[in-house]
Amino acid sequence: MYCCELLSGLGPCTAKRMFGGFGISTGGLTFALVADLGGGETLWLKADEATRGLFEAQGCGRFTYEMTRNGVRSPHSLGYYSAPEEAMESAGLMLPWARLALECALRARAAKPAKKPKPKAKAPAKAKTQAKAAPAKKRRA
C-alpha cells in the first residue's frame, strides 16, 4: 500500500482493515487511517489539541462522517486530519507529519487509565449430589 510506503520513515507500518478502510500502525499503535468519506480514498493522520492548528493551517480537512442514531442524522468527527497535499508526494515530505501523528497516538495511549487486571475466574461450585452414597457392604470373615 502506497500510504505505508509514505509513512515508512517511522518504521515498518502495517495496514489492517478497519471501519470500511484501513488503520495504519507501527509498533502496534494506530496513528493513521485510509478511508473514503465520499471524496476518494484519503490518508488521515492522528491529531490532538496540540497539533490540530498545524493541520488546519495547511488546509487539511477533519475526519467527519454522518451517523444516524434513533432516526436522526448528525455529523461526528474523529481526531484525524487529511494529510497535507504536498506531503503525499514523498516519504521525506511526509515524515514530519507522520511523526506528529505518532506523537499524538503516544499521548493518547499515555492518557488512558491503566487497565485493571481481570479478576481471576472462580472455580465452578461443585454440584451437590442428591443421591446418597450406598452403604458399604460388610465383609464376611
51 pLDDT higher than 80 = yes
| CATH number, domain with residue 102 | 3.30.1460.30
Q: How many CB atoms lie within 10 A of CB 61?
A: 14
Domain residues for the domain of 35 are 2-111
Whether residue 118 lies inside any domain: the answer is: no
Whether residue 117 lies inside any domain: the answer is: no
Whether residue 66 lies inside any domain: the answer is: yes
Place 130 in a pLDDT band, splitting at 50, 70 and 90: low
Place 137 in a pLDDT band, splitting at 50, 70 and 90: low
Q: What pLDDT score does 132 carry?
A: 54
What is the domain count for the chain?
1
Q: What pLDDT score does 115 carry?
A: 72
Distance of CA 57 to the CA centre of its chain: 26
Whether residue 41 lies inside any domain: the answer is: yes
